[in-house]
Amino acid sequence: MKFRVVAIAVIGAIMLSVAGHWAKQVEANPMTEKKLFGKMPDGTEIYLYTLANKNGMEAAITSFGATLVSLKVADRNGKFADVVLGYDTLEEYANSSNYFGATVGRYGNRIAHGNFTLDDVKYTLALNNGENSLHGGIKGFNKVVWTSTEISSKDGQSLQLNYLSKDGEEGYPGNLSVQVVYTLTDRNELQIDYSASTDKDTVVNLTHHSYFNLRGQGEGDILNHLLTLNADRFTPVDAGLIPTGELRNVEGTPFDFRTPVAIGDRINQKDEQLKLGNGYDHNWVLNRKAGGQLSLAAKVEESSTGRTMEVWTTEPGVQFYTGNFLDGKPGKGGKVYNFRYALCLETQHFPDSPNHPDFPTTVLKPGAHFRSKTVYHFSVK
């Protein structure tokens, strides 16, 4: 009898604690939805998670490439639209070379001739952009499967993604353990927190490659979007889009976005740098607060919808790219993505830094902890 009472009490306590655990999880992460997005050829399941905030904003992220698939943001009338380009299916992401919404690594942007020397050892990377290596090589972090865990954070719903990039992958030295956490806050921010560690000296430059159109994905070009860039200088490039090493003042050039200017205003000017990039495809040297704090990098405003986006980052640079390689192929919902139908603001260390000792360093050593944060903050005007 006594045993039965004790047993019932114990079972009751277990049930209560399980219920309590559930309640806590539900409370912490009330709306995160998880569904199957597809399967890899080897059968590995790929998921799509939808984070939501209390204002109805939603961010859908897949474990393939730690990729942002959609981002639903309200306009000034409270009408939601998806403001990032992408695809409806896993197969399209697997076959695309656009980096739509992707997490880019191990090294975002270009490394000249795919070569660099570290600790007197010359490394040769996979070439995938003419004679250069772009965005981590042939199979960068955008093409790999990340492990994914929904976590609750004090700021909102979060998704944690992890990947172990093996020593030698795409030619890079060191086993690199990478973590990316996306958080959607009730302040209408999509925060991205990166961290990484290595067991051998290596180089790291992680970025996020969403293609934004604040009118809604596929809803025309971005030439009327107003852009502000908090940068006095940019890094001019050569014909292969590799920085020459100069940090050029933007004053008097079409690269001066220190006050809001429509992206299309000067994009067709006869300017050597615009010609090389076929538009804007350059790195700006951000004016930053001291000590690696989050600083305002960019602001984008779209007048017909009132949507505005601020980009804050701990990174020293931002690649502003105007979708110059978009060529009319279809994406989500059959929308067609024409030339300049979106813009990217890829926060980063400068391209080809491993070959420019005077650029901020991208070297990561064993025992050190790489951390970086970027925030995309939405509001209406």
Residues that bind ligand GLA (CB under 6 A): 98-99, 109, 134, 241, 281, 319, 321, 325, 344, 346
Query: Min. distance of Cβ 93 from ligand GLA in angstroms?
Result: 14
Contact 218, 336 (CB under 8 A): yes
Closest C-alpha among 212, 21, 209, 235 to residue 101: 209
Q: Please identify, using beta-carbon distances, which residue of 37 and 321 lies nearer to ligand GLA.
A: 321
Query: Min. distance of Cβ 319 from ligand GLA in angstroms?
Result: 5
Residue 118 is which amino acid? Answer: L
Query: Min. distance of Cβ 377 from ligand GLA in angstroms?
Result: 21
Query: Min. distance of Cβ 110 from ligand GLA in angstroms?
Result: 7
Rounded Cα–Cα distance for residues 193 and 191 (Å): 7
Q: Name the one residue in this structure whose structure tokens are 């690199």.
A: 176
Strand partners, 228: 299
Q: Please identify, using beta-carbon distances, which residue of 69 and 344 lies nearer to ligand GLA.
A: 344
Q: Please identify, using beta-carbon distances, which residue of 197 and 209 lies nearer to ligand GLA.
A: 209
Q: Name the one residue in this structure whose structure tokens are 């890079």.
A: 172
Closest C-alpha among 32, 380, 377, 379 to residue 190: 377
Query: Min. distance of Cβ 207 from ligand GLA in angstroms?
Result: 9
Query: Min. distance of Cβ 200 from ligand GLA in angstroms?
Result: 27
Q: Please identify, using beta-carbon distances, which residue of 321 and 350 lies nearer to ligand GLA.
A: 321
Contact 337, 221 (CB under 8 A): no
Query: Min. distance of Cβ 276 from ligand GLA in angstroms?
Result: 11
Q: Please identify, using beta-carbon distances, which residue of 221 and 346 lies nearer to ligand GLA.
A: 346
State the catalytic residue, choosing from 169, 346, 349, 356. Answer: 346
Rounded Cα–Cα distance for residues 103 and 123 (Å): 23
State the catalytic residue, choosing from 135, 208, 209, 282. Answer: 209
Q: Please identify, using beta-carbon distances, which residue of 241 and 267 lies nearer to ligand GLA.
A: 241
Q: Please identify, using beta-carbon distances, which residue of 49 and 350 lies nearer to ligand GLA.
A: 350
Which residue sits closest to ligand GLA, CB atoms considered? Answer: 321
Residue 76 is which amino acid? Answer: R
> Does 246 qualify as catalytic in the annotation?
no
> Does 346 qualify as catalytic in the annotation?
yes
Q: Enumerate the active-site residues.
A: 209, 346
